[in-house]
């Protein structure tokens, strides 16, 4: 299922780096701008192990303890923008921001209308009429919890989240909004949660296994 948005939303996944954690290669649409291609092909901090973060700090002339600070910001506080890491020296934050990019989810396709308006289309993982697994979408001060539901449950969601999940073609889902109820942030958080989901096929590709091994 493809959903559309006119903005780029940064993924903030809750995961701890591990030597057996794999990531899909970045896909860059051919019609992307040069700036977008450069950003998509640059390196990200997310996914690096503590040892790799320590190597980055040594390379950039940062103190050794900065590796723990980076890990805490990325994997505990879910902040990937170096400029928001307030306990790291400003000079070091600038070096990190120049070298690394946030782990954006690239669109599956970009369409452009006659008047020049561009739409970024994202593929949303589904399992029948619901979602493949529970997930939490975050944007700003808003959080949206998304949970799979049995067929016939329907869309249990508020107005803002309902519009997003119905646009994605999801017919059975349970949701709950936490923290800020700002409708703009809630919509972005719901879309964030849907975008960051992975179906069994994608997980199998990432882990180098068959779908049968993943599903059991």
Domains of the chain, by residue range, sit at 1-11+32-123, 124-216
Q: What is the model's pLDDT at position 3?
A: 45
Q: What is the model's pLDDT at position 20?
A: 29
| H-type alpha helices, 45-142 | 50-59, 66-71, 90-99
Which positions ≥6 away from 181 have C-beta within 8 Å? 142
Phi, psi of 169 (to 5 degrees): 85, 15
Which positions ≥6 away from 103 have C-beta within 8 Å? 10, 11, 13, 44, 46, 47, 80
- Give the global pTM: 0.52
Q: What is the model's pLDDT at position 177?
A: 93
Q: Would you identify the CATH topology of the domain 124-216?
A: Ribosomal Protein S5; domain 2 (3.30.230)
Q: What is the model's pLDDT at position 144?
A: 93
By the 8 A CB rule, do 75 and 15 touch? yes
Query: Around Cβ 78, how many Cβ atoms within 10 Å?
Result: 16
For the record, the structure tokens of 133 come out as 């697994």
Helix (H, G, I), strand (E, B) or coil at 121: strand
Q: What is the model's pLDDT at position 48?
A: 81
User: pLDDT tens, position by position, for the chain (216 residues)?
Assistant: 444 333 223 222 333 333 322 233 333 444 444 544 444 445 678 768 889 899 999 999 999 999 999 998 887 776 777 888 999 999 999 899 888 866 555 567 778 888 888 777 778 888 899 999 898 888 888 999 999 999 999 999 998 999 999 999 999 999 999 988 999 999 988 988 898 787 888 777 656 778 888 776
C-alpha radius of gyration, the chain, whole number? 18
Give the containing element (helix H, strand E) for 212.
helix 211-215
Q: What is the model's pLDDT at position 108?
A: 72
Query: Hey, which CATH number is domain 1-11+32-123, 3.40.50.2300, 1.10.150.530, 3.40.47.10, 3.40.50.720?
Result: 1.10.150.530
For the record, the structure tokens of 82 come out as 């170096």
Fold match flag (1-11+32-123 vs 124-216): no
């Amino acid at each position: 299922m493809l959903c559309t948005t006119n903005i780029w939303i940064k993924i903030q996944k809750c995961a701890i780096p591990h030597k057996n954690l794999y990531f899909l290669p970045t896909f860059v649409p051919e019609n992307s701008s040069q700036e977008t291609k450069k950003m998509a092909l640059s390196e990200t901090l997310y996914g690096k192990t503590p040892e790799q973060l320590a190597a980055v700090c040594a390379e950039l002339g940062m103190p050794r303890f900065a590796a723990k600070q980076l890990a805490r910001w990325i994997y505990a506080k879910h902040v990937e923008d170096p400029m928001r890491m307030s306990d790291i020296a400003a000079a070091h934050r600038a070096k990190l921001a120049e070298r690394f990019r946030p782990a954006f989810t690239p669109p599956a396709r970009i369409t452009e209308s006659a008047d020049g308006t561009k739409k970024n289309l994202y593929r949303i993982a589904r399992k029948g009429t619901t979602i493949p697994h529970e997930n939490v979408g975050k944007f700003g001060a808003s959080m949206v919890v998304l949970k799979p539901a049995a067929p016939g449950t329907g869309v249990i969601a508020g107005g803002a989240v309902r519009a997003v999940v119905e646009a994605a073609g999801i017919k059975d889902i349970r949701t709950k909004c936490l923290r800020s109820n700002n409708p703009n942030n809630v919509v972005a958080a719901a879309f964030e949660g849907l975008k960051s989901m992975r179906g069994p096929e994608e997980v199998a590709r990432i882990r180098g296994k068959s779908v049968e091994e993943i599903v059991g």
